[in-house]
Amino acid sequence: MDVASLLSFLDRGGVVIWAISALSLFTLTLIFWKALRLARLGVWGGGKAERAVEEFRRTGQIPGEAGGGLRYRIARHGMQAVSNPAFGDPEAREETERFARQLLVEARSGLRALDVVATVAPLLGLLGTVLGMIEAFQALQESGARADPSALAGGIWEALLTTAAGMAVAIPAALALAWFESLVDRVSADVEDLATQVFLAKPRMAERAAE
């Protein structure tokens, strides 16, 4: 579709189609930003965290390397809390949970916006269709007995453009939202499992210290 055809399509849809077009650009940008954000948080890699926890359970040694993915950072923070003599077991758990909540909130950022887009885009499309149908039937009423069925049909299909456009924006937004939520839920489950392993290592550490 060339630029002239695109502008003609937007003009036929009226103000609402322009709003949906702006929403589609926002949605595309948000999806790419969120995917990049999750990649930087390391949601697709958990091997380093698992190896660090296994090493901690065997030796009681905290990995010296900072940074890493979200799972690794939370697991390492939990190891530091467990190893801190100033913390009892409840304090260590609370500190680990606090740190995990902060990172998981960061991982969930932007998901609410995608949810809003998936809800609002079809409603905008429906609004544009209703406004277009009102305009088409007003034109039919004014034409009276000279009404041209083909002109009415043309007005109706132009009004339906906004519904199609709204659905075209909402469907990718809903799919991306479901995908991102599944990733964050998987990370949350992995973090809970890793934290449990870290806390189970504390009695072993106490036994080794007593020996």
Helix (H) or strand (E) holding 87: none
Give the pLDDT of residue 57.
85
Per DSSP, the three-state class of 34 is helix
Give the pLDDT of residue 33.
95
Give the pLDDT of residue 43.
86
Domain definitions of the chain by residue range: 46-210
What token pair was written down for 152?
Answer: 């009415």
116 C-beta neighbours (distance < 10 Å), count: 13
CB contact at 8 A, 10 and 18: yes
pTM: 0.81
Convert the pLDDT of each residue in 29-41 to its tens digit: 999 999 999 998 8
For residues 132-146, average pLDDT: 70
Higher pLDDT, 134 or 193: 193
Convert the pLDDT of each residue in 69-120 to its tens digit: 899 999 999 999 888 888 888 888 999 999 999 999 999 999 999 999 999 9
Looking at the predicted structure, is the pLDDT value of residue 191 above 60? Answer: yes
Looking at the predicted structure, is the pLDDT value of residue 151 above 70? Answer: no
Percent of residues, the chain, with pLDDT higher than 70: 80
